[in-house]
Each structure stands twice: as C-alpha cells, then as structure tokens.
Amino acid sequence: MNVIKGLIIKDLFELKSYKKFIIIFMIISAISVFSRSNPSETISLFAVMTTIGFGMFSLATFSYDEISKSDKYITTFPLTRKQIVLARYILVIGATILGSIIGFVLGLIVSLAINHTFPNMYEELCIVMGGIFGIAFIETVQIPSIYKFGSEKGRMVLFFAILAIAILGTILFYIGKMLNISISLETINYVIEHYFLIIFALIVAVMYYISYRISVKIYNKKEV
C-alpha cells in the first residue's frame, strides 16, 4: 500500500500548482451560485460545481505525467501496473468525493447564515449525486481513453461517448414508442423520491469499477 501512497502523494504535489486556480474557481463558483434569487438551490449547486471542478483538476495529473514522461520512470518501481492504475483511481474518486463534501458543507454553512432555514437535505443530496454522476461519467470514460490514446486524443473519446449515448437514447425512445411502452411520470417521480440516491450511487460505483478494469487491461498491454 505504501507504493500507492507514494504515487498519490506525487499526484498531490503536481496539483500544488493548481492551488491558486482551485481557490479562484471556488470564489467564482460561490459568487455565481450565492447571487441566485432562489437561495434554496445554493448548497446543491455550489456542491455540484466544486465536485465537477475537483474531479476535473484531478484528471490534470495525467497531463503532468505525459509531459514529464513519468510513466516510463514509474514502471521501473517495485510495483505492478495494476497498482499504478489503482493509485490514479483512488486520487480521482477521492477528489470527486472531497469536492462534493467541501462544496456541500460550505454551501450549507453559507446558506444557513443567509436564510436561517434548514433545507430539504434529501433533495439537496440528490442534486449533488447528479453532479457526482456527471463527473463520474466524464472520468470513467476519459481515464481508460487517456491510457489508450494519451491525454489529447483521450478527450476526443469523451465527445464520441456523449454522442453515442445521445444516439442510443434516441433509438431507445423510438423503439419504446414503436412497441407502445410508456412509463408514467408518477412511476419516475416515485423512483426518484425513494431510490434516487441508492440507484445513482450504485451506478456510479459500477461505472468506476468497469472503467478501472478496462484501464488495468489497457495499461498492462501498453508499451511505455
């Protein structure tokens, strides 16, 4: 485990140079969110922004490694390639969770100070989970793509993934229409109200797991 810790520390040192950007990003996010007319949205929106921000910043470590060709050096360490990939996933997932917690707590404090009322926590958490799902989608598509094609081309894959999902969604919609399958709004609302958090938490966990397995497979075969 120590070697993985070493790799995560390396990534955190690399992100040190992002310190100012992160602070500026949070200030801008806070100003844009807290100046909204509906104060009940502030916590979740701020948390969504910090979650996405932290997740995106953590992906920047790939670019640092690519510039310094660190992969070539790191594979000479006494560790397996699986551990190298695992360290990266721990960092990215950790940054995403940390971003959501920091955003949520700060948002809650500021919101309480301004509104003096406690918001509907479940609703707020559902919105934050939506943010986590969004950044998790980006990360889980991008990480294996970067391992396969490098940082630049890896980003392109994300656009294709979004396009593919849009096409698939449209196809499913028309198939449903043709087969006369309809889901009532009440059913959707019921599922969202009762199971949204757990369903999305599970989907996100499965997405990370599949993405991790694909990345390990790609990286094991990669010539560094």
Partner 1 sequence: MENILEVKNLCKKYDDFELKDINIELPKGVIMGFIGENGAGKTTTIKSILNSTKINSGSIKMFGMELDKNEKKIKEDIGVVLDDSFLSEYLTPNDVNKVIKNVYKNWDENLYFKYIEEFKLPKNKISKDFSNGMKMKLKIATAISHKPKLLLLDEPTSGLDPVARNDILDIFQDFIKDGESSVLVSTHITSDLEHIADYITFINNGEILLSKTRDELLEQYGIVKCSKEEFEKIDKSDYIKCRKNKYDIELLVQNKFDFKKKYNSQVVDKPTLEEIMVIYIKGEK
Contacts with partner 1 by CB under 8 A lie at: 2-3, 5-7, 9-10, 13-14, 16-17, 64-65, 67-73, 75-80, 223-224
DSSP 8-state secondary structure symbol assigned to residue 78? S
Closest CA to 103 of 37, 197, 22, 26: 26
Nearer CB in complex with partner 1: 15/135: 15
Name, in order, each residue with C-beta under 8 angstroms of 10's C-beta and a sequence gap of 6 or more: 70
Give me the least distance between CB of 84 and partner 1, in Å please: 11
Give me the least distance between CB of 218 and partner 1, in Å please: 14
Cα 120 to Cα 117, 129, 169, 191: the distances in Å are 10, 14, 31, 18
Nearer CB in complex with partner 1: 15/95: 15
Nearer CB in complex with partner 1: 40/151: 151
Closest CA to 95 of 8, 20, 212: 8
How many whole angstroms from its chain centre is CA 79? 27
State the residue for tokens 């509104």: 115
Q: Tell me the Ramachandran region of residue 119: left when phi exceeds 0, alpha when psi lies from -120 to 50, beta otherwise.
A: beta
**SS3 (DSSP) at 41:** helix
Give me the least distance between CB of 30 and partner 1, in Å please: 27
Give me the least distance between CB of 65 and partner 1, in Å please: 7
The Cα 201–Cα 101 span in angstroms is 15
Nearer CB in complex with partner 1: 87/108: 87
Give me the least distance between CB of 52 and partner 1, in Å please: 24
Nearer CB in complex with partner 1: 90/125: 90
Give me the least distance between CB of 108 and partner 1, in Å please: 34
Nearer CB in complex with partner 1: 7/128: 7
